[in-house]
Structure 1
Amino acid sequence: MLRIAVCEDEEQHKKILVDLIGRYPFETDYHLTTFQFGYELIEASNKGIKYDIIFLDMRLENEDGIDIANEIRKTDKKARIIITTSLIEYAVLGYSVNASDFLLKPFPEEKLFLVLEKLETEIRHSRSSFFEFEMNNEKVFLISDDILYFESLGRKIKVVTSEAEYEYYYTISALEKELDPVRFVLCHRSYIVNLKNVKSIKTKMAVLKNGVTIPISPKRNQKVYDTFTRYLVGSLE
């Protein structure tokens, strides 16, 4: 799921931007939060709430967008910040805080859609290279290629690599929505397998390259086989 924030103190501009974002055909689910003041966004960031994309107005009432962005960067280096402004001069300032792009008000739809398309692709690729989760109040980063499969254990998820296993609180349904559908496939209500590490697909099971077998439910067998075939074709291109 993409987490998007809009920080804009003018209700008219906020409504236009939120409506336009709602029209964009995202490839994944998203959740959008709006802020009227920059300090509210900073407080959320300081509490550990991370946003994938932040639309930040450069001239909020009694607040400077660059100052707000600098505060956010102290706790979040990865957020894609999009500068929104009425003056092109302010847009240039945004690059000092590593802004990803800018939008001039009143937000041309074509430009906004191009920005969202670019960012969604970037985020999807970054997530496909590394897998991030929280275990025992610490962030854990794994190289996606090293993951063999995920297994649902009630309220927990077990992540299995060739060298270690990890467990953290999450659900298999939420996890499926976040993973790259080209590489990871739900093959059973309790298992998501990494196709990169699959050797072959047989009736009712996926055989991994290390010999481990993962069950495939009958109703998912054809989908798993088709997804695996597309993955193999794509890896050869």
Structure 2
Amino acid sequence: MIHIAIVEDEEKYRKQLREYIEQYCEKSGKQIQTSFFQDGEDIIENYTADFDLIFMDIQMRFMDGMTAAREIRKLDKKVILMFIISIATYAIEGYEVDALDYILKPLSYNMFEQKLNRALLRVDGQEEHYFLIQTSEETLRIKVTEIHYIESHSHIMAYHLPDRILESRGRLDDLEEQLSPYGFYRSNRGYLINLHYVTGVSDGCCIIDGNMLPVSRRKKAEFMEKLSQIL
């Protein structure tokens, strides 16, 4: 059985989410146990790390969602976090606590179903995808989620991973086509970035692992739209 926590201080949204989950269970046949909390303080008190997914309102009266999420991450690295927000600009804050996604108020069932489906794929371990990188010495099978960004120099592709950089010959155009379904975006001629790892935007660049990666001026608006959608 899937265990979901709803952390929401507004009664109308708690009621709406309860109805949406009941509707989802009836439609999908899945069994979901739901626990409700009215504030961030309520969920972190005696937290037991037995939730698969937490829907967290980012704005609450006593302890806001980001503060609660930081505390939860100290205790639970695996639980899936999804923020409930009223303003899209809050979305980028979720990267700090590795949030999977967000739901924008006012809530609609179709959007809720889409987001919940994505989260449950992660719960079931079905969302992982792999990518083959042919270096000069070997062929490696790498998780797509391990690629933070790809840098192109004269047909040499440098794959930036958490612990190393792999180089392989190729074309960034081809990689863009293959990886765009997994949250990658061509920020300019020389970079293909994984939007999940963007931690900030400054001076015409996005920030990944402390590195300033250029975003072309003509793509800035589309980049910001894609970034808000990916969280």
> Can you list the C-alpha shifts for 1:118-168, whole angstroms capped at 9, x where unaligned?
121221226xxxxxxxxxxxxxxxxxxxxxxxxxxxxxxxxxxxxxxxxxx
TM-score for the superposition, normalised by structure 1? 0.50
Report the residue type matching 1:3 in the other structure. H
Match of 1:14 in 2: 14
Q: Residues 77-88 of structure 1: matches in 2 within 5 Å?
A: 77-88=77-88
Tell me the CA shift for residue 26 of structure 1: 4.0
Tell me the CA shift for residue 61 of structure 1: 0.4
The sequence identity of aligned pairs, in percent, is 34
Tell me the CA shift for residue 70 of structure 1: 0.3
Asked whether the equivalents of residues 50 and 76 of structure 1 are also in contact (C-alpha less than 8 Å), the reply is no
Report the residue type matching 1:108 in the other structure. S
Q: How many angstroms apart in 1 are the aligned matches of 2:29 and 2:37? A: 25
**Which ranges in structure 1 are unaligned for 5 or more consecutive residues?**
127-237
The alignment partner of 1:28 has SS state of: coil
> Can you list the C-alpha shifts for 1:4-60, whole angstroms capped at 9, x where unaligned?
000001101111111112111345311000000111100142xx2421110000010
Match of 1:31 in 2: 33
**Which ranges in structure 2 are unaligned for 5 or more consecutive residues?**
127-231
TM-score for the superposition, normalised by structure 2? 0.51
Cα gap change, 1:27/1:119 in structure 2, threshold over 3 Å: closer, same or farther? Answer: farther
Tell me the CA shift for residue 62 of structure 1: 2.6
Q: How many angstroms apart in 2 are the aligned matches of 1:27 and 1:44? A: 31
The alignment partner of 1:56 has SS state of: strand
Match of 1:113 in 2: 113
Q: How many angstroms apart in 1 are the aligned matches of 2:67 and 2:6? A: 16
Match of 1:209 in 2: none
Match of 2:186 in 1: none
Q: How many angstroms apart in 1 are the aligned matches of 2:28 and 2:116? A: 8
Q: How many angstroms apart in 2 are the aligned matches of 1:16 and 1:29? A: 18
Asked whether the equivalents of residues 58 and 84 of structure 2 are also in contact (C-alpha less than 8 Å), the reply is yes
Tell me the CA shift for residue 65 of structure 1: 1.2
Q: How many angstroms apart in 1 are the aligned matches of 2:41 and 2:62? A: 11
The alignment partner of 2:125 has SS state of: helix
Match of 1:50 in 2: 50
Asked whether the equivalents of residues 84 and 91 of structure 1 are also in contact (C-alpha less than 8 Å), the reply is no
